[in-house]
Amino acid sequence: MSPIDDMYEIAYYKTGLSSHVRSNPHQSLMQSIQNDQILEYPEKMCIGNREAFQMKDRLDQALGRLDEFDEEFRTTKARFEANDEELRTTKARLEANDEELRTTTARLEELEKRDREQEDALILLRMRACEDRYAVQRNHQADRSVKQGGNRVAHGGNIVFDLKAIEYACRTGANHCQDYKTDFGAVYWIPFDRAVTSIKTFPRELIRICNTVASVEELYQYRNSKYQTDRNAAINFGAGIIQDALQAIDSGDLSPFRDGAGLAAKVQQFDVMVNNL
């Protein structure tokens, strides 16, 4: 047994009038010990009065609570440190995401810029098509090599960008703007004003038919084909499909476009007619 383990604990605690204690503290202490009940707990190796043991119990309880507080503090500190590490990780991840977002945004802006440039170029190209269409519809003379080159590059149907090109021409005060609108209706078989307000509701198949009819009408390979009778028949047949489609759209019934329906069958027949030209 170590000297510490063999030590006996003696404790005494008493309260009294401060004036008496201050005048004769030693005598007050001895008198209190003589008059007080002294308790001994051999198993605990301690001796003292009741008040001392009560104070010791309170002190032990307070120390126990301090130990609990200390353990709770360490746990809380560890949790905060873990949260702080998680926060740093999250911050780093957000910074990485932010950088990726900036890169993606820059890439999208570049793609949008290219799309705008390509759209602007296509609108200008379709402006040339509208001008050549204007000349052809009115039998104006034009240089044959330029006209044929234009037919191969710019002509043919593109109803969406012809709308944009004509709107651009009207906004910028270009010559023949109203004539462009008239010519539009002649090759697409849809009035310009109707197309402007309704193009977004047109089924894709209707847009394709409009483009194909205009292509058969305008492209050099068809205009100079030896099968002019078949060409005219294909144009008129496609125009009939367009008118039927517009009536179906006006009635709110798009079922004729479904596979096996009346318009769908006509579209297949029209495609065969065009392919045979």
Q: What is the model's pLDDT at position 26? A: 72
How far apart are alpha carbons 26 and 33 in whole angstroms? Answer: 11
The pLDDT of residue 29 is: 72
> Is 210 part of any domain?
yes
Look at 127-141, 152-166, 183-197, 235-249 and tell me which has the smallest mean pLDDT.
Answer: 127-141
Please check whether residue 217 lies inside any domain of the structure. yes
Evaluate whether residue 85 is within a structural domain. no
Question: Does 33 reside within a domain?
Answer: no
254 in a domain, yes or no? yes
- Please report whether residue 181 resides in a domain: no
> Mind listing the pLDDT tens digit for each residue in 111-121?
666 766 566 66
pLDDT at 120: 67
Taking residues 201-212, report their average pLDDT: 91
Higher pLDDT, 60 or 181: 181
Q: Are 149 and 171 in contact (CB under 8 A)?
A: no
Q: State the pLDDT at residue 141.
A: 46
Q: What is the pLDDT of residues 135-188, one digit of tens each?
A: 777 765 444 444 444 444 346 788 998 999 899 888 888 788 888 999 999 999
Of 46, 51, 47, 53, nearest to 15 by C-alpha is 51
Collapsed DSSP state (helix, strand, coil) of residue 29 = helix
What number is the average pLDDT over the span 73-78?
87
In this prediction, residue 242 has a pLDDT band, given cuts at 50, 70 and 90, of: very high
Asked if the structure places residue 214 within a domain, the reply is yes
Confidence of residue 51 (pLDDT cuts 50, 70, 90): confident
- At 143 the pLDDT is 40
Distance CA 155, CA 133 (A): 8
Higher per-residue pLDDT: 141 or 240: 240
With bands split at pLDDT 50, 70 and 90, how would you rate the model's confidence at 19? low
The domain tally of the chain equals 1
Q: Is residue 46 part of a domain?
A: no
Question: Which amino acid makes up residue 133?
Answer: R
User: Average model confidence (pLDDT) for the chain?
Assistant: 80
- pLDDT over threshold 90, residue 234: yes
Among the residue ranges 22-31, 97-106, 247-256, the one predicted with the least confidence is: 22-31
CB atoms within 10 A of CB 191: 15
The residues, ordered by sequence, that sit 6+ positions from 33 with a Cβ below 8 Å of its Cβ are 12, 49
Section 203-225 average pLDDT:
89
**Full residue range of the structural domain in which residue 232 is found:** 188-275
pTM for the full predicted model: 0.56
